[in-house]
């Protein structure tokens, strides 16, 4: 089976100015969204207490709230989790009440009015641990960017490196923006998804860069823009198929994997779609705008020959 | 087509065999079992076999197997109810020297165990259990140290007759003030001579003052001591819980991770972790302890206790010579004759009382009483929790006083294991630095089982979709890619099992994600082959070119994904580490299976045939 009879011949680079503009606007929009609307950070980051319980039969949230209020936990956020007999209770970091006793008290309060409750999970994260994860998470992103930038510089050239990193930042921001719009919970698993996306998205970029390098050397008559167009078209099919298989497994995870990996699969689904676009219109585009040239990528031996008068 | 090197086929067969062998233990499942070991960690005595058999007989249970496995006695059952009954009975009959824990024992056959094959290690989010992160309050430890300086230094100066005009606390150092430079000089020398662990510096802003603080080495040592002390105490207590594979481990400078798989009752655990222990040095009374124990009449001014090791009665005088809060350090060491010993360091006030006491009591015995205050939670018939306080008081050491001593002394005449244990207990009883729970994660068994089921079904569906798509789209080559993917998954499971890396829910998500990405290598190769064919290449040439040209691209792409996973691993919170490990192993093995594996299959299928066209679309 095949999608196209021949290698497509789409003039991607004709839209390159528009592409850069759109990307810039979207990036700024995503930053504004994240800043203004904010991310729905999970307790991994904010600290606090989370208790998930399962009632023997569907339960009214009002009843749960009332039970909690009787134990003076009016501030608790109560919501269904998955179905109407599973309830998720969250409390912001407790000011004075020390440590992990909160979860014990919550359970006692709920047990007092309903005997058949089963505990599904308790998570308690001290505010300091949350703060540390913030800085560790930020550092992790930074190191991932630096590591990838260094590798591309080593394998290609600095202009490619800049393009690739711009695409990674772009993709990460798009995902964050989307998470902010839908207020998907951002926990440590979601952070893992973003780091995985960085690897994945960069994969896209590298496949195109590799092809550009190959074509720059083999198709000496074409100018840069034509080489780039040819390369993008040649790798287009492979991109479509890889995204398809990745989206297939991600949707399996989204529909069957349960709520624990919900944020994870949403972040990656958005990321995979965005990465298709950014590998063409951000990374490649920016590298072209920075002025990549045939000479940059020629093997050292060829260069010497070229430099002869 | 050029022939494919034989060694690559061998390598593939070896990889397949390795994968099958080491992934196999995961298929056998496990037995509900009871695991028995000595609390002291010593090897089990020979008579335990008879005791266990008797206990099982009393309970009317027939185990499916019972014997020593990996240094512990494991009794296996076919039903979980039998397991619980047996555990209750064994706990009762074996007594408190033994740890009786519930566990799931793998049914992996012996020959597989012999080559080191084990089932995967499931994370707490998959098997249920509790995870605590505890933090030792270092500030408190430092404050204590300054307080100690502020009592010991003035005491020394008074003894040496060096007059000071003031003393105060200043952050993590103590400041002594003097009337003139001569005194400053004298004091500085005296302190340096008496306390090697203190660092004395003049205060630049106040010329007639000395700033005294712990040397860096000493400051680090007391923090280490505080953490070690808590670790020891926690280990002892966790052993009492009867958990099969508890983990109590130091993390970073001042944190301790406690993980208890299978434990649900977090209230009980928190109570146990929060128990406080202390100790007292006391004089042994002359009266007959056995008589007091049998008659129940305790002479005035004394109290009756029992020794921890052999439950002998001991009468101790009521006065406390030194308490746990006076204990600065305790370590097992060797005495001047090279025999095992425990060296103990007391603070100034403890040392003073010890000196006065030993002066008058040379030749008489002195005992160490270990006291632990625990909260014990039990449940009544209605299932309500009843919490009660329990005091455990035991004599852990009796030794005769050989000479007069104060600050530092040694307890000798011990076996080396005894010395080690005594040092641990002394540390546990020293005034513990306070510990806070800074993170708790409890996963109920139903959620764990749910997670496994959901993760598994997502993986199966994901795999099914990818297989269908690849075979539909690339035909025979799709089959090659799918075979490579299956080998890849087998290798991931095998390596995870062999390394005993922990499989978590994010780890499963990582495997599922990886299935989508892993076929990318084959997609790259096959698209390349199609391109070569479009360009007019002969079938065999196209296949070869496809594999050769795509190789570097795949390697480049994989390296960058690996960079991401390495960073993720370094970031390292438990479940995410699991994700990073599975993804990294997957990528490394796919670089091999997707290229070498699928190519070997293509070679086998097509190398010896004349091809008019390649069945790739």
Q: A181 phi and psi, to 5 degrees?
A: -60, -50
CB contact under 8 A, B132 and A247: no
Alpha carbon distance B45, B28 (integer Å): 31
Of A6, A120, A245, the CB nearest to B447: A120
Residue B70 reports pLDDT greater than 50: yes
Of A101, A192, A214, the CB nearest to B506: A192
Least confident of A112-116, A278-282, A286-290, B268-272: B268-272
Q: What is the pLDDT of residue A246?
A: 94
CB contact under 8 A, A192 and B576: yes
Of A104, A151, A206, the CB nearest to B270: A104
Q: Which residues of A touch B513 (CB under 8 A)?
A: 196, 246, 249-250, 253, 268
CB contact under 8 A, B459 and A252: yes
Least confident of A34-43, A65-74, B537-546: A65-74
What mean pLDDT is predicted for residues B404-424?
81
Kindly identify which residue of chain A lies nearest to residue B461, measuring between CA atoms: A252
Q: What is the pLDDT of residue B147?
A: 81
Residues above pLDDT 70, as percent of chain B: 94
- The owner of tokens 């630095």 is B433
List, in sequence order, every beta strand (DSSP E) within B471-516.
Answer: 502-503
Complete DSSP assignment for A40-87: EE-HHHH-EEEEEEE-SS---HHHHHHHHHHTT-TT-EEEEESEEEEE
pLDDT single digits (tens) B213-232:
888 888 888 888 888 878 87
pLDDT single digits (tens) A197-242:
888 888 889 999 999 988 988 888 888 899 999 999 989 988 999 9
Q: How confident is the model at residue A250 (pLDDT cuts 50, 70, 90)?
A: very high
CB contact under 8 A, B469 and A104: no
What is each CA distance from A11 to A159, A229, A230, A291, B506, in whole angstroms? 22, 6, 9, 19, 40
Alpha carbon distance A119, B169 (integer Å): 49
Alpha carbon distance A161, B143 (integer Å): 51
CA A146 to chain centre: 17
Q: What is the pLDDT of residue B461?
A: 95
Distance from CA of A309 to the nearest CA of B (A): 33
pLDDT single digits (tens) A66-94:
888 887 777 788 888 878 888 988 887 76
Cα–Cα nearest to B544, from B606, B482, B472, B486: B606
Residue A305 reports pLDDT greater than 60: no
CB pairs under 8 A between A and B: 238
Contact A148, B564 (CB under 8 A): yes
**CATH entry, B275-433, from 3.40.50.2020, 1.10.730.10, 2.40.50.140, 3.30.1360.200:** 3.30.1360.200
User: What is the tally of helices (H) and strands (E) in chain A?
Assistant: 12, 6
Q: What is the pLDDT of residue B487?
A: 94
Alpha carbon distance B96, B37 (integer Å): 11
Interface test with A, best of B268, B467, B571 (most A CBs within 10 A): B571
Q: What is the pLDDT of residue A44?
A: 84
Strand order in the sheet with B129-136: A77-81, A83-91, A48-54, A118-125, B435-443, B129-136, B255-261, B247-251
Beta A185-186 vs A40-41: how paired, if at all?
A: parallel
Q: How confident is the model at residue A309 (pLDDT cuts 50, 70, 90)?
A: very low
Strand order in the sheet with B72-76: B65-69, B72-76, B30-38, B98-106
| B495 Rama sector, left if φ>0, alpha if ψ -120 to 50, beta otherwise | alpha
A97 or A87, higher pLDDT? A87
What mean pLDDT is predicted for residues A265-279?
93
Alpha carbon distance B144, B214 (integer Å): 11
What mean pLDDT is predicted for residues B166-191?
88
- The owner of tokens 């195109």 is A208
What is the residue-averaged pLDDT of chain A? Answer: 85
**CATH entry, A12-41+129-304, from 3.40.50.1360, 1.20.1640.10, 1.20.1250.20, 2.60.120.920:** 1.20.1640.10
CB atoms within 10 A of CB B617: 14
What mean pLDDT is predicted for residues B297-319?
87
Q: What is the pLDDT of residue B478?
A: 92
Q: How confident is the model at residue A303 (pLDDT cuts 50, 70, 90)?
A: very low
CB contact under 8 A, A189 and B451: no
The token pair at A164 is 């690739």
Kindly identify which residue of chain A lies nearest to residue B440, measuring between CA atoms: A124
DSSP at A93: P
Q: Which residues of B touch A52 (CB under 8 A)?
A: 447
Q: What is the pLDDT of residue A94?
A: 64
What is each CA distance from B354 to B331, B404, B409, B556, in whole angstroms? 19, 9, 10, 70
Kindly identify which residue of chain B lies nearest to residue A123, measuring between CA atoms: B441
SS3 B602: helix
ipTM: 0.86
What is each CA distance from B425 to B70, B232, B242, B570, in whole angstroms? 27, 8, 20, 35
Complete DSSP assignment for B294-336: HH--PPTTEEEEEBTTT--EEEEEEEEEEEGGGEEEEEEEE-T
Q: Which residues of A touch B438 (CB under 8 A)?
A: 99, 125-126, 128-129
Of A126, A137, A203, the CB nearest to B561: A203
**CATH architecture of the domain with residue range B31-106:** 2-Layer Sandwich (3.30)
Alpha carbon distance B480, B468 (integer Å): 13
Alpha carbon distance B600, A301 (integer Å): 34
Residue A43 reports pLDDT greater than 60: yes
Q: Which residues of B touch A263 (CB under 8 A)?
A: none
Alpha carbon distance A209, A164 (integer Å): 9
What is the residue-averaged pLDDT of chain B? Answer: 84
Q: Locate all alpha helices (DSSP H) within chain A, ordered by sequence.
A: 16-36, 43-46, 61-70, 101-113, 127-155, 158-182, 188-218, 224-256, 262-278, 285-289, 294-297, 300-307
CB contact under 8 A, A196 and B520: no
Burial of B154 (0-12, 13-18, 19+ CB in 10 A): middle
pLDDT single digits (tens) B477-489:
999 999 999 999 9
The token pair at A46 is 């904010």
Q: How confident is the model at residue A1 (pLDDT cuts 50, 70, 90)?
A: low
The token pair at B572 is 């390292």
CB contact under 8 A, A122 and B266: yes
CB contact under 8 A, A256 and B135: no
pLDDT single digits (tens) B98-124:
878 878 888 888 888 888 888 988 888
Contact B91, B100 (CB under 8 A): yes
Contact A13, A280 (CB under 8 A): no
User: Taking the C-alpha atoms of A289, A295, A299 and A305 in order, what is their torsion angle to the nearest 10 degrees?
Assistant: 170
Q: How confident is the model at residue A308 (pLDDT cuts 50, 70, 90)?
A: very low
CB contact under 8 A, B560 and A258: no
DSSP at B38: E
Cα–Cα nearest to B516, from A2, A199, A278: A199
Cα–Cα nearest to A202, from B352, B564, B67, B9: B564
Q: Which residues of A touch B125 (CB under 8 A)?
A: 260
Half-sphere exposure for B27 (CA within 13 Å, toward CB): 10
pLDDT single digits (tens) B352-380:
889 989 999 988 999 988 887 666 655 55
Least confident of B249-263, B312-326, B406-420: B406-420
Report the CATH fold assignment for B139-219.
3.30.1240
Residue B349 reports pLDDT greater than 80: no
Q: How confident is the model at residue B10 (pLDDT cuts 50, 70, 90)?
A: very high
Contact B447, B129 (CB under 8 A): no
Alpha carbon distance B615, B617 (integer Å): 6
Interface test with B, best of A260, A265, A270, A299 (most B CBs within 10 A): A260
Alpha carbon distance A1, B538 (integer Å): 20
Same topology, domains A12-41+129-304 and A48-125? Answer is: no
What mean pLDDT is predicted for residues A124-145?
84
DSSP at B243: B
Alpha carbon distance B244, B353 (integer Å): 44
For residue A78, list its beta bridge partners.
A89
Beta B408-411 vs B173-177: how paired, if at all?
A: unpaired
Please give the class, per CATH, of domain A48-125.
alpha beta
Distance from CA of B470 to the nearest CA of A (A): 9
CB contact under 8 A, B465 and A248: yes
Residue A266 CB contacts under 8 Å (≥ 6 apart), including other chains: A178, A179, A182, A184, A254
Q: What is the pLDDT of residue B151?
A: 78
CB contact under 8 A, A191 and B576: yes
Residue B138 reports pLDDT greater than 90: no
Least confident of B236-250, B509-523, B536-550: B236-250
SS3 B584: helix
CB contact under 8 A, B527 and A264: no
Burial of A115 (0-12, 13-18, 19+ CB in 10 A): exposed
CB contact under 8 A, A144 and B530: no
Q: What is the pLDDT of residue A24?
A: 93
Interface test with B, best of A101, A191, A252, A267 (most B CBs within 10 A): A252
Residue A307 reports pLDDT greater than 50: no
Q: B586 phi and psi, to 5 degrees?
A: -60, -45
Residues above pLDDT 90, as percent of chain B: 14
Residue B382 reports pLDDT greater than 60: no
Q: Which residues of B touch A133 (CB under 8 A)?
A: 573
SS3 B144: helix
For chain A, what are the domain ranges?
Answer: 12-41+129-304, 48-125
| B296 Rama sector, left if φ>0, alpha if ψ -120 to 50, beta otherwise | left
For chain B, what are the domain ranges?
Answer: 6-25+445-606, 31-106, 139-219, 275-433
Question: Is residue B354 within a helix (H) or strand (E), and if so which, with residue range?
Answer: helix B348-360
pLDDT single digits (tens) A280-291:
999 999 988 898
Alpha carbon distance B493, B27 (integer Å): 11
Of B447, B461, B573, the CB nearest to A188: B573
Q: Which residues of A touch B463 (CB under 8 A)?
A: 249
CA B91, B93, B99, B103 torsion: positive or negative?
negative
Q: What is the CATH number of domain B6-25+445-606?
A: 1.20.1640.10
CB contact under 8 A, B563 and A147: yes
Alpha carbon distance B144, B433 (integer Å): 9
CB contact under 8 A, A121 and B557: no
């Amino acid at each position: 089976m095949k999608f196209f009879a021949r290698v497509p011949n789409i003039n991607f680079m004709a839209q390159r100015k528009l592409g850069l503009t759109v990307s810039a606007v979207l990036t700024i929009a995503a930053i504004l969204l994240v800043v203004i609307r904010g991310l729905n950070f999970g307790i991994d980051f904010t600290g606090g207490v989370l208790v998930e319980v399962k009632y023997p039969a569907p339960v009214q949230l009002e009843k749960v709230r009332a039970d909690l209020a009787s134990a003076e936990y009016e501030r608790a956020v109560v919501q269904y989790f998955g179905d109407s007999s599973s309830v998720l209770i969250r409390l912001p970091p407790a000011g004075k009440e020390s440590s992990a006793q909160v979860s014990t008290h919550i359970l006692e309060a709920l047990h007092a009015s309903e005997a058949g409750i089963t505990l599904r999970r308790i998570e308690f994260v001290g505010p300091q641990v949350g703060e540390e994860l913030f800085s560790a998470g930020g550092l992790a992103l930074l190191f991932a960017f630096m590591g990838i930038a260094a590798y591309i510089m080593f394998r290609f050239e600095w202009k490619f490196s800049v393009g690739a990193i711009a695409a990674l930042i772009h993709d990460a921001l798009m995902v964050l923006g989307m998470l902010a719009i839908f207020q998907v919970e951002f926990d440590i698993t979601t952070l893992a998804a973003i780091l995985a996306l960085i690897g994945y998205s960069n994969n896209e970029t590298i496949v195109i860069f590799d092809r550009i390098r190959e074509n720059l050397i083999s198709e000496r008559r074409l100018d840069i823009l034509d080489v780039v167009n040819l390369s993008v078209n040649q790798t287009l099919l492979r991109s479509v198929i890889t995204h398809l298989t990745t989206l297939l497994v991600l949707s399996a995870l989204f529909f069957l994997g349960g709520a624990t990996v919900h944020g994870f699969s949403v972040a990656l689904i958005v990321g995979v779609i965005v990465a298709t676009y950014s590998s063409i219109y951000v990374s490649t585009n920016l590298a072209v705008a920075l002025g990549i040239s045939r000479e940059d990528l020629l093997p050292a031996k060829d260069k010497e020959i070229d430099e002869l008068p | 087509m050029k022939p494919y090197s034989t060694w690559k086929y061998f390598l593939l067969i070896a990889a397949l065999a390795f994968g099958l062998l080491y992934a196999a233990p995961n298929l056998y499942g496990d037995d509900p079992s009871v695991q028995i070991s000595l609390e002291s960690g010593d090897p089990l005595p020979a008579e335990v076999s008879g005791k266990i058999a008797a206990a099982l007989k009393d309970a009317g249970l027939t185990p499916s197997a019972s014997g020593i496995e990996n240094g512990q006695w494991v009794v296996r059952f076919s039903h979980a109810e039998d397991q619980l009954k047996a555990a209750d009975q064994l706990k009762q009959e074996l007594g408190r020297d033994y740890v009786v824990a519930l566990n799931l024992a793998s049914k992996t056959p012996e020959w597989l165990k012999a080559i080191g094959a084990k089932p995967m290690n499931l994370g707490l989010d998959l098997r249920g259990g509790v995870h605590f992160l505890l933090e030792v309050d270092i500030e408190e430890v430092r404050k204590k140290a300054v307080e100690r300086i502020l009592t010991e230094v003035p005491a020394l100066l008074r003894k040496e007759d060096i007059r000071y005009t003031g003393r105060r606390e200043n952050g993590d150092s103590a400041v002594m003030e003097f009337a003139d430079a001569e005194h400053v000089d004298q004091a500085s020398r005296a302190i340096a001579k008496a306390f090697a662990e203190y660092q004395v510096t003049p205060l630049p802003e106040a010329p007639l003052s000395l700033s005294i603080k712990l040397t860096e080495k000493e400051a680090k040592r007391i923090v280490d001591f505080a953490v070690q002390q808590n670790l020891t105490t926690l280990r002892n207590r966790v052993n009492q819980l009867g958990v099969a594979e508890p983990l109590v481990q130091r993390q970073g400078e001042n944190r301790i991770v406690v993980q208890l798989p299978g434990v649900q009752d977090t209230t009980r655990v928190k109570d146990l972790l929060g128990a406080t222990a202390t100790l007292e040095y006391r004089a042994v009374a002359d009266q007959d302890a056995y008589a007091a124990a049998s008659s129940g009449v305790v002479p005035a001014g004394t109290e009756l206790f029992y020794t921890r090791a052999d439950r002998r009665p001991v009468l101790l005088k009521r006065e406390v010579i030194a308490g746990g809060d006076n204990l600065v350090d305790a370590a097992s060491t060797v005495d001047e004759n090279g025999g095992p010993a425990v060296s103990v360091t007391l603070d100034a006030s403890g040392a003073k009382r010890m000196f006065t006491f030993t002066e008058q009591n040379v030749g008489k015995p002195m005992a160490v009483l270990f006291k632990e205050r625990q909260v014990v939670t039990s449940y009544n018939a209605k299932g309500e929790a009843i919490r009660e306080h329990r005091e455990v008081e035991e004599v852990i050491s009796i030794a005769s006083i050989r000479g007069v001593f104060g600050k530092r002394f040694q307890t000798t005449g011990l076996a080396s294991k005894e010395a080690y244990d005594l040092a641990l207990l002394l540390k546990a009883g020293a005034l513990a630095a306070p510990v806070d729970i800074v993170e708790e994660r409890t996963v109920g068994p139903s959620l764990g089982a749910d997670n496994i089921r959901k993760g598994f079904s997502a993986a199966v569906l994901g795999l099914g979709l990818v297989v269908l798509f690849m075979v539909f789209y690339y035909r025979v080559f799709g089959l090659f890619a799918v075979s490579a993917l299956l080998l890849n998954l087998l290798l991931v499971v095998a390596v995870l099992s062999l390394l005993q890396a922990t499989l978590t829910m994010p780890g499963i998500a990582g495997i599922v994600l990886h299935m989508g990405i892993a076929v990318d290598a084959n997609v790259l190769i096959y698209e390349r082959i199609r391109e070569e064919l479009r360009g007019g290449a002969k079938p065999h040439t196209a296949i070869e070119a496809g594999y050769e040209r795509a190789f570097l691209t795949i390697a480049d792409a994989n390296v960058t994904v690996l960079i991401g996973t390495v960073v993720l691993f370094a970031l390292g919170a438990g479940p995410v580490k699991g994700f990073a490990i599975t993804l990294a192993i997957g990528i490394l093995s796919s670089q091999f299976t997707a290229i070498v594996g699928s190519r070997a299959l293509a070679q086998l299928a097509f190398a010896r045939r004349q091809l008019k066209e390649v069945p790739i679309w």
